[in-house]
């Protein structure tokens, strides 16, 4: 997995750097890259990641690295250190699949992430399941208290989107808003922000 992550990082940063040099990178675009637990536990990978991000020289706010909640908790100290270092280069961080790991929110104080990606298992029926709604509201309330934006995953219906909008969730992703597509096609689209 580390080799795959290295390949993704190297090629994505090269492509984004090329787009930025030729002024074809959409302004205010945010590009997410998932990092595996195996890679985050590899000290050489982390150091190489820092070096490559520094060398890429992308505008602040261009990159957002996504890490799973379980990985972040398992390696809290080293992940926190990596986040702090990469934030100096303008990177953002999202905690992916949030809500599926430990039930305690206390570790969030130690993780300077920018986004909580609320797991799709809570989102898909949020418009009709009061328990899912209560869970999403609780996650959003904690995020708001810590100045962390919330992102709802797996938004597939208008009813779900309307419910999330009423709840004040900051962003949404899912097939309703856009399907996965090749990187070169994505560059022509703006990031979709959930309208208020």
Residue 109 gets which letter from DSSP? G
What three-state secondary structure class fits 94? strand
Tell me the pLDDT of the chain (196 aa) as tens digits.
Answer: 889 999 999 999 999 999 888 887 777 788 999 999 899 999 999 999 999 999 999 999 999 999 988 888 888 889 999 999 999 999 999 999 887 765 567 788 888 999 999 999 999 999 999 999 999 999 999 999 999 999 999 999 999 999 999 999 999 999 999 888 887 776 555 444 444 4
Terminal-to-terminal C-alpha distance of the chain:
39
Specify the pLDDT at position 82.
95
Task: State how far the Cα of 196 lies from the Cα of 99, in Å rounded to an integer.
Answer: 24
Residue 125 gets which letter from DSSP? T
Both tokens assigned to 144: 């708001």
Where in the chain are the domains? 1-90, 114-196
Where residue 86 falls (left for φ over 0; alpha for ψ -120 to 50; beta otherwise) is alpha
- Phi, psi at residue 92, to the nearest 5°? -115, 165
Both tokens assigned to 30: 């945010």
Both tokens assigned to 191: 């990031």
CATH classification code of 1-90? 3.20.20.450
- Give me the DSSP letters along 6-19: HHHHHHHHHHHHHH
C-alpha torsion sign, points 193, 170, 104, 91: positive
- In sequence order, the β-bridge partners of residue 93 are 65
Task: State how far the Cα of 41 lies from the Cα of 57, in Å rounded to an integer.
Answer: 25
Task: State how far the Cα of 94 lies from the Cα of 11, in Å rounded to an integer.
Answer: 21
Q: Which helix (H) or strand (E) holds 68?
A: strand 63-68
Residue (of 64, 65, 72, 130) closest to 100 by Cα position: 72
């Amino acid at each position: 997995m580390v080799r795959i992550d290295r390949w993704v990082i190297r090629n994505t940063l090269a492509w984004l750097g090329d787009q930025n040099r030729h002024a074809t990178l959409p302004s205010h675009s945010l590009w997410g890259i998932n990092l595996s637990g195996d890679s985050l536990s590899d000290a050489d990978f982390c150091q190489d990641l820092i070096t490559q991000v520094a060398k890429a020289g992308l505008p602040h706010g261009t990159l957002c690295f996504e890490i799973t909640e379980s990985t972040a908790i398992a390696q809290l100290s080293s992940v926190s250190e990596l986040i702090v270092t990469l934030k100096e280069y303008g990177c953002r961080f999202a905690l992916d699949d949030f809500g599926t790991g430990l039930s305690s929110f206390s570790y969030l104080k130690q993780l300077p992430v920018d986004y909580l990606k609320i797991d799709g298992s809570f989102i898909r029926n949020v418009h009709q399941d009061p328990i899912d709604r209560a869970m999403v509201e609780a996650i959003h309330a904690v995020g708001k208290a810590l100045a962390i934006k919330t992102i709802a995953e797996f938004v597939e219906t208008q009813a779900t989107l309307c419910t999330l909008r009423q709840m004040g969730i900051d962003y949404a992703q899912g097939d309703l808003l856009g399907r996965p597509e090749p990187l070169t096609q994505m560059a022509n689209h703006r990031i979709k922000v959930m309208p208020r």
